Amino acid sequence: MSVAEPRRIVLFRHAKADWPQVNDHERPLADRGRMDAAEAGRRLADTDVPFDLAVCSTATRTRETWKLAVHEFPHRPKTIYEERVYEASPGELIAVLNETPDDAQNVLLIGHNPGVQGLAEVLSGSAEGDARERMNRRGFPAAAFAVLSFSGSWKTLEPGVATLLDYWAPSE
């Protein structure tokens, strides 16, 4: 893969979680979250982005979201479970993505708010169509995702270098 070819980053917030008497990291998905995660997986598969790598938070709700979503994909990308994604700021998420090997062209990051929404806002220096307006109007509810594109090495990923191509959130 050439670093001159546009790369895709999909920022995917975990689906709706339940609130049982467990610590936050161990919270599972709610019934609605399981349905929305599968629907998000179908929508992600419809983007026709061939993911090379998924970077997923180690939290139970993100791992469950990913397991349900990836089941809808035509091929399963390599998956890395990264504890630094849990409760990460946009800057910390950029640092994680900067470590991505350049042979990975398209990466999916499954994480949490406010970091995922903040990262989508910080990275997208421009947007196509009404993607930014839809994202600004809806925010980043559970199971939402943003598709971004940028050119260059993963080490050059920084605020403002990406274009927001698409945004999707489940119906409320």
Which 8-state DSSP code applies to residue 14? P
Residue with tokens 């220096």: 125
Q: How far apart are CA 161 and CA 154, in angstroms?
A: 11
Strand ranges inside 14-144, DSSP E: 53-56, 78-81, 106-111, 124-127
**φ, ψ at 80 (rounded to 5°):** -120, 125
- pLDDT tens digits in sequence order for the chain, 172 residues long: 445 689 999 999 999 999 999 999 999 999 999 999 999 999 999 999 999 999 999 999 999 999 999 999 999 999 999 999 999 999 999 999 999 999 999 999 999 999 999 999 999 999 999 999 999 999 999 999 999 999 999 999 999 999 999 999 998 5
Q: How far apart are CA 137 and CA 81, in angstroms?
A: 31
The predicted model scores a pTM of: 0.95
Q: Which amino acid is at 126?
A: S
- Please check if 61 is assigned to a binding site: yes
* Tally of CB atoms within 10 A around 119: 28
Cβ 168 vs Cβ 41: under 8 Å: no
Tell me how long the chain is: 172
Q: Does domain 7-163 sit in CATH 3.40.50.1370?
A: no
Domain ranges of the chain: 7-163
Q: How far apart are CA 105 and CA 151, in angstroms?
A: 10
